Amino acid sequence: NDCDKSFAQKSNLVKHQRLHTGEKLHQCKDCEKSFFQKYHLILHQMTHTGEKPFQCKYCDMRFAQKADITVHHRTHTGEKPYQCNDCMKSFTRNLYLIQHKRIHTEEKPYQCNDCDKSFTVRTSLVRHQRLHTGEKLHQCKDCGKSFNEKFHLIQHQRTHTGDKPYQCNDCDKSFTQKPSLVRHKRLHTGEKQHQFKDWVKSFTQKYYLMQQQRTHTGGKPYNCIIVSFKTCSPIFISKRDLPKYRCTDTEEKPYQCNQCDKTFSQ
């Protein structure tokens, strides 16, 4: 009565009607979570027992649900049965295809209640909302520092382990993060992605482009930190130039002649 769907068996109609009424008869005894169908309850209970009856025939990984192992097999076979009609990109899951299509339609159904931002997938909204709540679920066991996302924790942990998994193919340098490797590779290829709109000069990193733009705009955001003396007010285009400068107000002269007692600031 609530939609135009029809069923061959009455039992299937009864199950379907629960989607409209919101009735969930099957409740988990461990966490009180409820489900429309008993089958979904059984699958859920495996998260408590740790039971994973489905083993991959290509590797040692095991799964609680048959649907998950089917998708996992595609990582071995390379099969991607779900294809986008707009750009022909293929995916291992139909869910990934649905999410991808929103790039073309520009649909963002997940709206943040605290600001005007919206997202194509729910997981992105959940991560974003932590910026408002300040919640940091992922904590480093070595130093106690916490992060909004697990990915950032993994990157941070490499500062403790020294792990640098991203290796340059052209030299022996390796990096803790993929973006650092990408930037480094431009030194070998000569690629310069960041171009100044009022000039034809290009740069390998956005940081250098911003420095160059300040020579045209006159922007000097880095001020001398010695503020107790009114005579010192130099400002700098680059943050790197700030430690090189020695404020005359401090009268600091760390360089001494080894032949006499005379000292110098530089």
Identity of residue 257: C
What is the per-residue pLDDT for 203? 52
Yes or no: is domain 1-79 CATH 3.30.160.60? yes
| Per-residue model confidence (pLDDT) at position 7 | 85
CA-based nearest residue to 93, from 82, 78, 79: 82
User: pLDDT tens-digit profile of 22-57?
Assistant: 777 788 888 878 887 887 888 888 888 888 888 999
Tokens of 27: 């409740």
Instruction: Give the number of C-alpha atoms closer than 13 A to the C-alpha of residue 263, restricted to the C-beta side.
Output: 6
Give the ranges where the chain is alpha helix by DSSP (H): 10-21, 38-49, 66-77, 94-105, 122-133, 150-161, 178-189, 206-217, 241-244
Residues of the chain with pLDDT under 70: 192-252, 265-266
pLDDT given for residue 241 in this prediction: 52
Looking at residue 28, its amino acid is: C
**What's the mean per-residue pLDDT of the chain?**
79
Question: How much is the pLDDT for 221?
Answer: 53
pLDDT of res. 90: 95
pTM of the model: 0.44
CA distances from 90 to 66, 82, 102, 121 (A): 22, 5, 14, 18
